[in-house]
């Protein structure tokens, strides 16, 4: 009679999310060397986090902010915010790619407003010469008599250096 050996699945090692965030920020800096980019290591002293800011400047028509906190990267442009997990390699790559696309006019934001209030923000990428929504955030629209308008936030200043 042979002995039955039961194997235990080895627990997967959790990624060092702080290192992932740092590497993501370094990748963005390396891909966009013509832009002024600031990194604040601990903007909120109550928790361990990091913040990357690409301010509006000669080659960028709007500000881009990425905050690392709670094991995720949060991309913020205008009223749009999207969370990317630091434990998912595809999410990290998508965050970096989105920032580069926004700067190089391959992505934009489409905002829907009621009066001056943004009720929906859509991240759109250029695919086959058409703008396609790839992510959206919004608020519960309250009944409003204010006119519904659309605003496009798009970089048209890309010069690459």
9, burial (CB in 10 Å: exposed 0-12, middle 13-18, buried 19+): exposed
Domain ranges for the chain:
17-153
Q: How far apart are CA 49 and CA 41, in angstroms?
A: 7
Q: How far apart are CA 96 and CA 68, in angstroms?
A: 13
What is the pLDDT at residue 160? 47
Residues 147 and 131 sit within 8 Å (Cβ to Cβ) = no
What is the structure's pLDDT at 161?
Answer: 44
Tell me which residue of 68, 131, 69 sits closest to 101, measured CA to CA: 131
How far apart, in whole angstroms, are the C-alpha atoms of residue 24 and residue 32? 12
pLDDT along the chain (161 residues), means of 10: 54 71 92 92 66 91 91 91 88 93 94 89 94 90 79 76 44
pLDDT at residue 116 in the model = 85
**Residue-level pLDDT at 11:** 54
Q: How far is CA 97 from CA 3, 4, 7, in A?
A: 52, 49, 40
Q: For position 148, what pLDDT does the model report? A: 87
């Amino acid at each position: 009679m042979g002995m039955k050996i039961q194997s235990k699945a080895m627990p997967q090692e959790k990624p060092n999310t702080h290192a992932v965030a740092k590497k993501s920020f370094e990748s963005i800096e390396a891909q966009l060397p013509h832009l002024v980019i600031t990194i604040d290591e601990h903007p909120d002293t109550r928790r361990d986090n990091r913040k990357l800011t690409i301010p509006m400047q000669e080659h960028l028509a709007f500000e881009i902010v990425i905050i690392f906190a709670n094991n995720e990267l949060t991309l913020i442009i205008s009223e749009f915010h999207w969370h990317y997990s630091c434990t998912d390699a595809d999410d990290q790559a998508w965050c970096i790619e989105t920032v580069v696309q926004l700067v190089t006019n391959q992505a934009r934001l489409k905002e829907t407003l009621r009066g001056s209030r943004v009720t929906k923000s859509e991240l759109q990428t250029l695919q086959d010469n058409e703008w396609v929504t790839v992510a959206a955030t919004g608020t519960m629209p309250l009944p409003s008599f204010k006119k519904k308008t659309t605003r496009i936030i798009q970089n048209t200043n890309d010069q690459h250096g």
